[in-house]
Amino acid sequence: MHQIVGCQPPIKLNEEEERRKKKKKKQKVTDMLPVVVVHGGADHIPKERSEKSTLGVCSAARAGYTILQGGGSSMDAVVEAVTFLENNPSFNAGCGSVLNIKGEVEMDAIVMDGKTLGSGAVSAVRNIANPIQLARLVMDKTSHACLTAEGANRFARSMSVPEVPLESLITEYSRMRWTKNLAADANPVECQIGKMGTVGAVAVDVEGNVACATSTGGILNKMEGRVGDTPCIGSGGYADNQVGAVSTTGHGEAIMKVTLARLILFHVEQGQSVEAASDLGLAFMKSRVHGLGGVVTVDPQGRWAARFSSLQMSWAAAQKDTLHYGLYTGEHSTQSIEKPV
Ligand SMILES: NC(=O)C[C@H](N)C(=O)O
């Protein structure tokens, strides 16, 4: 092998100029940090519930953003935002979860840390007010990626996570929809309407670390023990500091078939913008397996997208001093982050 000694690339006269430009570009991009984006589920939300849904995602985005502004990690921010949404009975996660065929709540959740690719998930858990916090404990305190059903509940007890009465997670609205779907003349597709509101969040902190969190009660009148896409890595969410983070919502069986979150990040790796990559992933899911859904996506520079193929998806994003939010396709409202909606 020949070694070429003293062979240097020619010095460009405008090298300094280029360096300055690059630095400026980098500064501009990192100015976009921190950021948090949340969703309240890909849905067809009845009019009377849409305001609550928008208010809910806006306060969750604010809660996550407060953590980031205080120098907190993206993981802390997404868990905080999703905890907010789980505690809000307007969403299909935590209190307000849809009921399975037996009229019971069984919930799934996942978190993923883009710095380490560490993740934690729970599936088919009951009696837990905040499955997202339990998912985080699985990540932080075990060597496993997912715990399910009774085992997850036993782990919760060992971690002193309080168990709550099953009834406390059931709202009148979810019971009404469950009963309606049991009727002989029920239309199961129509009965899903207004109740697909899985919740999720993605964030980038000031250090450029990305994270995702997703939590759900699943789908209405599902079989006992059904596990959806949410706790599955690459389906319900994915986070990698080298690419970005995604949280998904929609028809779980379809999302799993195309591993939607990872598919979107593949498109980002191929050079697509977060917006184009999200649209490509959703379009593929629609054409290939007839599945509808929605996603929130960020890249490590703080560029973000909230996209959906369903009729609606409530979403909100907090970045710099602005809160962005929307519900219908093409809707994008903004206001100062200081001002309550
Ligand atoms: N609303 C949803 O997003 C449902 C969730 N993806 C599931 O199938 O469990």
Q: 173-207, pLDDT tens digit by residue?
A: 888 888 887 776 666 555 454 455 899 999 999 99
Instruction: Determine whether 83 is an active site residue.
Output: no
Centre of ligand 1 from the C-alpha of residue 331, in Å: 23
Centre of ligand 1 from the C-alpha of residue 218, in Å: 5
- 48-100 pLDDT, tens digit per residue, is 778 899 999 999 999 999 999 999 999 999 999 999 999 999 999 999 999 99
Sign of CA dihedral 329, 331, 332, 338: negative
Residue from 196, 257, 296 to probe ligand 1 pocket by mutation (most atoms less than 8 Å from CB): 196
Ligand 1, residue 195: give the atom nearest the CA: 1
Does 250 sit in the ligand 1 pocket, CB within 6 Å?
yes
Q: H or E element: which one contains 64? A: helix 47-69
pTM of the full structure: 0.89
Fold that domain 33-336 belongs to in CATH: Glutamine Phosphoribosylpyrophosphate, subunit 1, domain 1 (3.60.20)
Q: What is the largest CA-CA distance in the chain?
A: 84
Percentage with pLDDT > 70 across the chain: 87
Cα 61 to the chain's mean position, in Å?
12
SS3 content of the chain, % helix, strand, coil (to 5): 35, 25, 40
Percentage with pLDDT > 90 across the chain: 78
Q: H or E element: which one contains 66? A: helix 47-69
Active site residue: 30, 54, 83, 198, which one? 198
Query: Does position 9 have pLDDT exceeding 80, yes or no?
Result: no
Q: 315 in the Ramachandran plot: left (φ > 0), alpha (ψ -120 to 50) or beta?
A: beta
- 156-178 pLDDT, tens digit per residue, is 999 999 999 999 999 888 888 88
Detail the DSSP E strand segments found in the chain.
Answer: 35-43, 107-113, 118-125, 146-148, 199-204, 210-216, 237-240, 244-250, 293-298, 304-308, 312-319, 322-328, 333-336
Q: Does 250 show up as a binding residue in the annotation?
A: yes
Check: complex ipTM more than 0.90: yes
Does 252 sit in the ligand 1 pocket, CB within 6 Å?
yes
Confidence of residue 3 (pLDDT cuts 50, 70, 90): very low
Residue from 82, 249, 311 to probe ligand 1 pocket by mutation (most atoms less than 8 Å from CB): 249
Q: Does 226 show up as a binding residue in the annotation?
A: yes
Does 97 sit in the ligand 1 pocket, CB within 6 Å?
no
User: Given this model, what pLDDT does residue 26 score?
Assistant: 53
